[in-house]
A and B are shown apart, each in its own frame.
Chain A
Amino acid sequence: MNNVLVVLEQRAGRIARIGWEALTAGVQLSGAGSLTVAVLGTDTEAQATEAATRTSGKIVRVEHALLAAYTPDGYTAALEQIIQSESPTHVVFPHTYQVRDYVPALAARFGTVLIGDVIAIESGPVFTRQLMQGRLNGNYRHSGKGPCFLSVQAGAFAAAAQAEGAASISSFTPVIDAAQIRTRPSEPFRAEAQTVDLGSAQTIVGVGRGIKSADNLPLIEELAAALGAELAASRPICDAGWLPMERQVGSSGQTVAPRLYIAAGISGAIQHTVGMKGSQCIVAINKDPDAPIFEVADYGIVGDLLEVVPALTEAVKAAKQ
């Protein structure tokens, strides 16, 4: 019998959607056992009310003045105490940057390791996560005495539906001393005004490492022009400064869902595909027939983009005449 604790995450006062996906994974894991949902902050009333629309189980408001802004020290201390108090068999998180920042330390405090970025849960339970830049799946099992910590990848589980029945809401006040919080975070900021809204583009041409050199970018620009498409890129291209950061698609960039997404020379690591796998039609062009991008593609061409893209530009132009 599994007793599951699901830890939600808030963004600008609302529960992040990926939290509802973690809740679905938690419900699946708990089976006939119990399910508890935790929300953290200084005043969590709004979060708890929102959580109560999706679960009829138990909701715990973990509140402390030192949880006003996220810090790894504050969150680790608070969750360590709620876990000791609730003694769950499994603790489920959404796989976010925030979770990556502190849950490995929290798990280590319980003598175990986070099973991160989980994409599926089978009976056992056996947890599936991706390895080798998405080229392999690995099945993991937890064998320690303490709780099993896992985080679920965005989009891997459906968001929890509206709940029928009322949840029971309680409060938990962790003991945290100001001296325990060693890092001083500032308010989040955006580097520059976003001038490119990839989110509303109908057609996008995304380019990755396969382009090899900035000198080859005109090939991609010509294809985008022929299609009337916006230009996008995977992280390495923006890191190299070949395209501006605001054209980056993926976990650290924008999330897009156009009618057509052409991925040219993009291998398809998770960090990129989470940002574009919702596209209606995906075309992948890659020299490696085993590249994971082909797993999410509707159409694929195996070949060097430096040869395929110019041919495609010509074919698009011919078709539009």
Chain B
Amino acid sequence: MKIVVAIKQVPDRDEPVRIDSAGKWIDESDLQFAMNEPDAHALEEALLLKEKSGDDGSEVIVLSAGPERVATTLREALAKGADRALHILADDLASRDALGVAQLLAAAIRPEKPDLVLTGLQSEDLGQGQTGVILAELLGLPHSTLILHVDKIASGIEVKRELEEGWYQTIQLPTPAVLTIQSGGNKLRYATLMGIKRAKNKELRAIAAAGLVSTAPPTVVLEKLSLPQRKKSTQMLEGTPKQAAAALVEKLRTEARAL
């Protein structure tokens, strides 16, 4: 089975978020970046599928679009066990909408003719949760989203899909297919020292975005970023943990009457 995993590099979750001077994006200077966590679960599912299939020539290819720094995240994926990596070099992702980015990814995926395309259900920065579904449309493939588990069956694959409020569903799809992976279905592995060593010799191919596809101007534009307004006037309780805790209990008893 040949599996392509589309991965996004996003600002590390613990990094402070500052709006840049133009007010249209975040200030990326001095930011630490990391692999989008749902994409890490997609990679894990791909590696598990490859391991389950034994030594049948299965291949896991990781794919990411973005500037130079994205190569670090691709190397991390190679160290965890992916076989090779494709890096669409693009410095202008923020000026493309989700369709424009998916067009780039689709153009890089097509010549690979994979059996399966996996990606996380959403990114931790924009959180649009659309890339996988748009990819399926562009590639003309069946898809399913919010997938916790993938099994190979004779007619293709069988997946466990998460529904709302604790419900699930089993879905059968023919391959090739596109799946977006939900977190919680598998446990992420760490890269081993051996894996990190091996990754240095694995293929990481850069592809110029300009040569891939001519994208139409975006139809949906992010005009302005702002800090959310507090809906409630939150009373912040100061002091040492002990002082703040005592003040909170007093407020909960006398003011909120919630104790």
Do A and B pair up? The answer is yes
Chain A: residues with CB nearer than 8 A to chain B? Answer: 72-73, 96-97, 100-105, 107-109, 111-117, 126, 130-144, 146, 182-191, 194, 203, 227, 235-236, 238-239, 245-246, 251-255, 259-260, 270, 280-284, 290, 292, 294-303, 307-308, 310-312, 314-316, 318-319
- CB-based A-B contact count at 8 angstroms: 258
Known: A130-B127, A137-B226, A295-B230. A253 touches B241 (CB 8 A): no
> Which chain A positions have C-beta within 8 A of B57?
none
Instruction: A300 to B235: give the CA distance in the assembly, Å.
Output: 6
A140 in complex: contacting residue of B26, B144, B223, B244, CB < 8 Å: B223
**A184 and B163 contact, CB distance less than 8 A:** no
Known: A105-B133, A299-B248, A299-B251. A112 touches B146 (CB 8 A): no
A189 in complex: contacting residue of B125, B168, B253, CB < 8 Å: B168
**A141 and B228 contact, CB distance less than 8 A:** no
Closest to A238 in B: B184
Contact with A along B218-259 (1 / 0, CB 8 A): 111111111111111011110011101110110111001011
Contact with A along B123-134 (1 / 0, CB 8 A): 011111110011
B216 in complex: contacting residue of A111, A191, A270, A296, CB < 8 Å: A111
B256 in complex: contacting residue of A139, A185, A298, CB < 8 Å: A298
**A253 and B219 contact, CB distance less than 8 A:** no
**A296 and B232 contact, CB distance less than 8 A:** yes
Closest to A320 in B: B259
**B221 and A143 contact, CB distance less than 8 A:** yes
Q: Tell me how far the C-beta of B26 lies from the nearest C-beta in chain A, rounded to whole angstroms.
A: 7
Closest to B216 in A: A111
Instruction: A243 to B229: give the CA distance in the assembly, Å.
Output: 32
Known: A116-B128, A140-B220. A97 touches B17 (CB 8 A): no
**B237 and A299 contact, CB distance less than 8 A:** yes
Instruction: A132 to B222: give the CA distance in the assembly, Å.
Output: 14
**A182 and B142 contact, CB distance less than 8 A:** yes
**A294 and B222 contact, CB distance less than 8 A:** no
**A141 and B169 contact, CB distance less than 8 A:** no
> Which chain B positions have C-beta within 8 A of A245?
166, 184
> Which chain A positions have C-beta within 8 A of B217?
143
**A252 and B219 contact, CB distance less than 8 A:** no
**B170 and A186 contact, CB distance less than 8 A:** yes
**B228 and A134 contact, CB distance less than 8 A:** yes
Q: What are the 10 A-B residue pairs with the smallest beta carbon separation, nearest first? A: A144-B219, A239-B184, A182-B142, A104-B130, A311-B245, A105-B137, A104-B133, A260-B258, A311-B241, A312-B245
Q: Tell me how far the C-beta of B214 lies from the nearest C-beta in chain A, rounded to whole angstroms.
A: 14
Chain B: residues with CB nearer than 8 A to chain A? Answer: 11, 13, 16-17, 19, 26, 97-99, 102, 124-130, 133-134, 136-138, 142-146, 162-174, 182-184, 216-232, 234-237, 240-242, 244-246, 248-249, 251-253, 256, 258-259
Known: A113-B219, A319-B249. A108 touches B102 (CB 8 A): yes
Closest to B164 in A: A97
Closest to A135 in B: B17
**B223 and A281 contact, CB distance less than 8 A:** no
**A302 and B236 contact, CB distance less than 8 A:** yes
**B134 and A188 contact, CB distance less than 8 A:** no
Closest to A302 in B: B236
List 14 additional A-B contacts (Cβ < 8 Å) besides A114-B128, A132-B127: A102-B133, A105-B136, A108-B134, A116-B128, A116-B130, A137-B226, A137-B227, A139-B222, A140-B223, A142-B219, A183-B142, A184-B171, A290-B17, A315-B242
**B168 and A136 contact, CB distance less than 8 A:** no
> Which chain B positions have C-beta within 8 A of A133?
13, 124, 127
**B171 and A186 contact, CB distance less than 8 A:** yes
Q: Tell me how far the C-beta of A251 lies from the nearest C-beta in chain B, rounded to whole angstroms.
A: 7
Closest to A279 in B: B258
Instruction: A318 to B253: give the CA distance in the assembly, Å.
Output: 12
Instruction: A134 to B174: give the CA distance in the assembly, Å.
Output: 36
**A183 and B171 contact, CB distance less than 8 A:** yes
Q: Tell me how far the C-beta of B138 lies from the nearest C-beta in chain A, rounded to whole angstroms.
A: 7
B169 in complex: contacting residue of A108, A109, A188, CB < 8 Å: A188
Q: Tell me how far the C-beta of B222 lies from the nearest C-beta in chain A, rounded to whole angstroms.
A: 5
**B130 and A114 contact, CB distance less than 8 A:** yes
> Could you give 30 example pairs across A and B, Cβ below 8 Å?
A97-B162, A104-B129, A105-B136, A108-B99, A108-B102, A111-B219, A130-B228, A131-B127, A132-B127, A133-B127, A136-B17, A138-B225, A142-B219, A186-B169, A186-B170, A245-B166, A252-B165, A259-B258, A260-B259, A281-B256, A290-B16, A295-B228, A297-B234, A300-B236, A300-B237, A301-B241, A301-B248, A308-B241, A311-B241, A312-B249
